[in-house]
Structure 1
Amino acid sequence: MALRACGFIIFRRLVQHPSPDKIEFLLLKTSYGEHHWTPPKGHVDPGEDDITTALRETQEEAGLSEDHLRKVDGFLQKLHYKVQGKDKEVLYWLAELRDPNTRVILSDEHQDYRWARLQEACELAKYKDLKDTLQAAQLYLETEGKQ
């Protein structure tokens, strides 16, 4: 059985209009392993549903509660990869930080955080599937409501 984790691709708009160059994504730098950059995410606890996991992990890792976020409907990315020889599935929803000035409060699991526009976020993201997810989020935000 695959390990399962859930989280949010969190973004903020620097000004209140949909210009793509005004969007920044939140990435957290881990305190363990290779100190890679990642959105807030974590493993599903027994009996917990996926979205509850994403909300709990975001609160624990970044200090951002459900009240700080606006979940974007219609966006869900599923990543599949191996960690130490075991299959892992990660689900990411997209959420906007309601107040772009809200302070991020890191847990011990992370040593730093950064708000980054798409190009920088993709440079920080070590793994292709995460880069692809960030690009998909940006594209979704650019086209949201324009169909």
Structure 2
Amino acid sequence: MAGKEVVAAGFIVFRTISSEIQYLLLQTSYGQHHWTPPKGHVDPGESEFDTALRETTEEAGLNRSHLEVIDNFKKTLNYPVNGRPKRVVYWLAKMKDPEMAVTLSDEHIDFKWLKVQEANELITQYKDLQAVLNDADEYLKSKYSNL
């Protein structure tokens, strides 16, 4: 029997440098040291959006005042983890200051700002996350004609 659903939330954080869109990926300090956007488990009584804000602040040092949340972009992934269903909700958020420093927590050992193709090369084992990044990239390029 499958266990209770695990719910997590985070932001696909991006910045634009010289008309180039770059996405923030964090490398975990545990397990296989995989790369993901900032995200984490929803605490009891916490909304998914509030979780995304909290986790992005905890993991990357970026709080609500540093980010412009993009309306109309929200993606949900569903996949099993250790025999339990997991749902991860991502919003898209732009860095207000593209030069702002990222401050990692002890949950991560590195971060990179990458174009979508480079990001997808780091997350080859997560096809659904690659699809979310590709969707975000297409959305941004259609929304901002100068990118």
What is the Cα deviation at residue 116 of structure 1?
Answer: 0.2
- Structure 1 vs Structure 2 CA RMSD: 1.1
Distance 1:66 1:77 in 2: 19
Distance 1:118 1:7 in 2: 18
State the identity %. 55
Q: Give deviations 1:70-126, integer Å, cap 9, x for gaps.
A: 000000110011111111000000000000000000001000000000110000113
Q: Which amino acid aligns with 2:119?
A: A
TM-score between the two structures when normalised by the length of structure 2: 0.93
Q: Give deviations 1:113-145, integer Å, cap 9, x for gaps.
A: 000001100001130011000000000101126
1:5 pairs with 5, 8, 33, which one?
A: 8
Distance 2:113 2:54 in 1: 21
Distance 1:72 1:111 in 2: 28
Unaligned runs of 5+ in 1: none
- Superposed counterparts of 1:9-88, under 5 Å: 9-15=12-18, 19=19, 22-88=20-86
Judged with a 3 Å threshold, the aligned counterparts in structure 2 of structure 1 residues 145 and 24 are, in CA distance, closer, same or farther, namely closer
Q: Which amino acid aligns with 1:66?
A: R
SS at match of 1:74: strand
Aligned to 2:136: 137
Distance 1:44 1:27 in 2: 20
TM-score between the two structures when normalised by the length of structure 1: 0.93
Distance 2:81 2:31 in 1: 12
Q: Give deviations 1:14-71, integer Å, cap 9, x for gaps.
A: 03xxx4xx00000000011111000000010111011100000000000000000000
SS at match of 2:65: helix
Distance 1:129 1:33 in 2: 20
How many residues end up aligned between the 2 structures? Answer: 141
Runs of 4+ with deviation above 2 angstroms? none
